[in-house]
Amino acid sequence: MKIAVLYGGVSGEREVSLSTGTGMMNALKAKGHEVIGIDFHPNHITEITKLDVDLVFIGLHGKYGEDGKVQSVLDMANIPYVGSGVLASALAMDKSKAKQIFDYNGIPTAKSRTYAKYENDGTLREQVLQHFTPPFVIKPNQEGSTLGLTIVQNEDDIGKAIAEGFQHDDEIIVEDYVKGREVTVAVWGEKGKEEALPIIEIIPKNDYYDYESKYKVGGSEHIVPAKLDDDIAATIQKYAVLAHQLMGCETYSRVDFIVTEENIPFILEVNTLPGMTPTSLFPDAAKAVGISYEDMIEKFIHISLQQ
């Protein structure tokens, strides 16, 4: 097949996307496909609309890639691609709206409130303190890879954390800090037939699973499968598949959770275009069931063609 890979982009996750794109292109070439690599920029949309390919792999992360914008361009140009469509991508990227959907459908989430930049009139710190007591989390509503995220340990940090969040987005989420074990679940399959791969527990070298822990070699330890009671593991996998379906995801996604000492799993987010770098989690989950990186990428193609 003739396949284009979009990678790079202009978001804060560009460096990660470059690595993801390289991995995808190498895997596709190893499987005998003709590959066209495109370092994507929103100013060059016409380059995308004129693609003459059988399929597109989107190796972009964050804004202008994972948020549905590129998907809408491909849809209008009638170019097939691997992964979730416009609505699912936009919903999953909007953490506030996604949390509302999870709450409504019985998937536990941390208590949170969303604030817009126009509300930052000098009273936002006091508004936050009316509802939250440190420690709590402040993060951009639409951003990935923990960019702009702060764990507020004391009241003196609130102003700086708010400013940091608004540097990345016009909305921020403030939510309770949930202490526990970080786990993630890779989900894939045709619509209605999705399945969860083995749960991975993430043990970061830093205080929490930050950007460095995610993408630096040796930045975190991945335990596959996670050492969880069977009932808890089954519940987390059920929630992961349900979250994937609620968002309307297609082909694959990765769903992140925190599991408390009381064994309550709190969902963090659904990643519609999870990283595919050498240190990424989805390839580790596939490897745990005997599927190589190259075969995993090929399976994404197979699933997409069956949709």
pLDDT surpasses 60 at 216: no
Q: Tell which of 142, 159, 176 closes a domain.
A: 176
pLDDT surpasses 70 at 219: no
Asked if 201 and 101 sit in the same domain, the reply is yes
Q: What is the pTM of this model?
A: 0.92
pLDDT surpasses 90 at 211: no
Find the CATH number of the domain harbouring 144. 3.30.1490.20
Is residue 13 part of the annotated active site? The answer reads: yes
- Segment 139-196, tens digit of pLDDT: 999 986 578 999 999 999 999 999 999 999 999 999 999 999 999 999 999 999 999 9
Is residue 269 part of the annotated active site? The answer reads: yes
Is residue 208 part of the annotated active site? The answer reads: no
- Segment 296-306, tens digit of pLDDT: 999 999 999 88
Q: Find the domain containing 150 and state its range.
A: 112-176
Asked if 142 and 284 sit in the same domain, the reply is no
Tally of CB atoms within 10 A around 135: 14
Is residue 145 part of the annotated active site? The answer reads: yes
Asked if 242 and 299 sit in the same domain, the reply is yes
Asked if 198 and 59 sit in the same domain, the reply is no
Per the prediction, the chain carries an average pLDDT of 93
pLDDT surpasses 80 at 217: no
Asked if 56 and 96 sit in the same domain, the reply is no
CA angle 7, 10, 16 (to 5 degrees): 50
Catalytic annotation, pick one of 143, 250, 256, 284: 256
Q: Tell which of 176, 196, 212 closes a domain.
A: 176
Is residue 59 part of the annotated active site? The answer reads: no
Catalytic annotation, pick one of 66, 194, 269, 284: 269
Nearest CA-CA partner of 101 in 282, 221, 244: 244
Asked if 210 and 289 sit in the same domain, the reply is yes
Write phi, then psi, for 137 (nearest 5 degrees): -110, 135
Is residue 120 part of the annotated active site? The answer reads: no
Find the CATH number of the domain harbouring 184. 3.30.470.20
